[in-house]
Each structure stands twice: as structure tokens, then as C-alpha cells.
Amino acid sequence: MTTLAEELNPVSPEKLVVDAVSKTFRARRSAVPALDNVSLTVQEGEFVCLVGPSGCGKSTLLNIIAGLEKPDSGQVLADGKAVTNPGRERMMMFQESALFPWLDVINNVMFGLKLKPNLNHQERREVAEYYLHLVGLDKFLEANVHELSGGMKQRVALARALAPNPRVLLMDEPFAALDALTREQLYSDIQRIWQERRKTIIFVTHNVREAACLGDRVVVFSPHPGRIREQFSIPLPRPRDINSVEVAQYSGEIVKALKQYLPATPETVTANS
């Protein structure tokens, strides 16, 4: 039987490889190219942010990595194995919390642990309690979803994504719908959790400063179809403050790079967007 300690500590290194992935969405009368020959390697424990304007294919790439979409060509390898379907080693966190309203907080987190039949009910509860403690919701285990603020719902969603102990955590603009103060608190929380757990994280955002604050590396996409244009290493020590001068300097460099690849009438991209 798997112990709680074994559940909370990964035992093998992980490396994710996106190899020449292309994807086109086809309708009856049109075809929209989303990704063109995208290649990317993510190391075990790395925090990588994908940034670019709307329509650059970054969410499509995340769905392909998750196994929710299939590429037209190319492949994704997770731990050396081709990704063909969703799997609990790659968990997704969306912009909306997508919690079950008929379940309380702890049962929402425990729900994903049903994918692990080697755990009994008590062991699933121990794992759920651990991750709810990690996201600061110890006092809300029995709370109903409708009683939670938007930020608290996202914390529950984060705990639910972490609880099955995935090797890769995929985050698709998870803080975009939250107010500025709540987002800043969650920036601190996700950095603290990442430092404690060292999960491999791929984080999609169109907010350049958010990317510079959170990522070890920021990958810049251009749109129509999505291509990787530049990559920026962010060697700043953690925890980082999104309002710091250093983060602003890096975000300014990334915005400057982004603007080179935008069409003549682009959506506005700024360091604070």
C-alpha cells in the first residue's frame, strides 16, 4: 500500500518534450492554423510561462500537452513516452475553478484522488488535508463552494490539481478573472508552493509581468499561426514581488520582443497587461 510520504514525494525525474508540433482547426469552409512547428523542452522542476497575444496558440499547446487535443503533426513526450491521452501525471488547472457545487471543499479535492485506487478513503482524506493546508484553507474543509470567494475557489482548484501528485502541472490563465489584490496573494502562494514541492509547471498567460514574476523561463509566442519566437531566462531570486523594479525590467524586455511579432493592428500588449 502506498504511504502518504510516498504520495507526496516524486521518485523519478521528469522531462517534457514538445517536438515539432503543428495544429490546424478546420471548419466546413475554413481552416485556422493554431500552431506551426513548435518545439520546446521543459526540465524537471522548471516553471515555464508561455506568453503571447490572444490567438497565438498557447492554450492549444497546453491542451495538446494535457492530451485533450491531438496535434496534426509532431508529438509530445512526457518522461520519454508519447502523450496520446489525458493522464493523472499531467493535471490541468483552468481559468475557472470548475469545482463541483454539490461537494464541499475537501470532497472536491478528494474527488480527483479516486483515480488512485490504491488509496483508501482515510488516505485520500489525509492527502486532501495536506494540500488544503498547503494552499491555506485548513479552516474551510467543510465549506460549501458557494461560500468561497473567487480566490479561495482557485486555491481549492490548485489543491485538487496537486493532490494526485502529478509530474507536470498545466495552468491556463488561472488568475485572469481575479482582482489585482487577490492575484498578488496567489502569486506569493504559487511561488511558495512551487519552492516546497518543485513541480514542473507550464503556465499560460497574456500578462507579461505575471510571466516575469512567476517563471524561470518565459517563452514568447507570435500569432497566426503560433510560433515560438524568443525565450527569456528569469534568474531573479524568489519570492518575487510583481511590483518590483527587477520584474518590471524583465517584463519590459519581453514586451519589446512581443511587439516585433504583432500584426499591424494588434491587441495592446504592455508590461502591465
Q: How does pLDDT run across 185-200, given as a tens digit for each residue?
A: 899 999 999 998 889 9
Mean of pLDDT over the chain: 87
Q: Which of 91-100, 177-186, 202-211 has the highest mean pLDDT?
A: 202-211
Tens digits of residue pLDDT in 193-251: 999 888 999 999 989 999 999 999 999 999 888 999 999 999 999 999 999 999 999 99
Instruction: Report the CATH number that the domain containing residue 195 is assigned in CATH.
Output: 3.40.50.300
* Cβ count near 251 (within 10 Å): 26
Is residue 102 situated within a structural domain? no
Residue 228, domain member (yes or no):
yes
Average pLDDT score over residue span 164-174: 92
Domain containing 230 equals: 4-97+166-260
Examine residue 255 and state whether it is found in any structural domain, yes or no. yes
- Confirm whether 158 is domain-assigned: no
Is 124 among the domain residues? no
pLDDT of residue 114: 77
| Number of domains forming the structure of the chain | 1
269 assigned to some structural domain: no
Q: Confirm if 203 and 47 have CB atoms less than 8 A apart.
A: yes
Report the relative pairing of strands 200-205 and 47-51 from DSSP bridges: parallel
Dist. CA 174–CA 110, nearest whole Å: 20
On whether residue 215 sits in a domain, the answer given is yes
Average pLDDT over residues 58-70: 94
Q: Does the pTM of the predicted model rise above 0.85?
A: yes
* Residue 261 half-sphere exposure toward CB, CA atoms < 13 A: 21
Residue 230 lies in a domain: yes
Query: Which of 49-53, 178-182, 239-243, 250-254 has the least mean pLDDT?
Result: 178-182
Please work out, in degrees rounded to the nearest 5, the angle formed at the alpha carbon of residue 79 by the alpha carbons of 73 and 82: 30
Residue 121's nearest CA partner among 110, 130, 132 is 110
- Amino acid found at 235: P
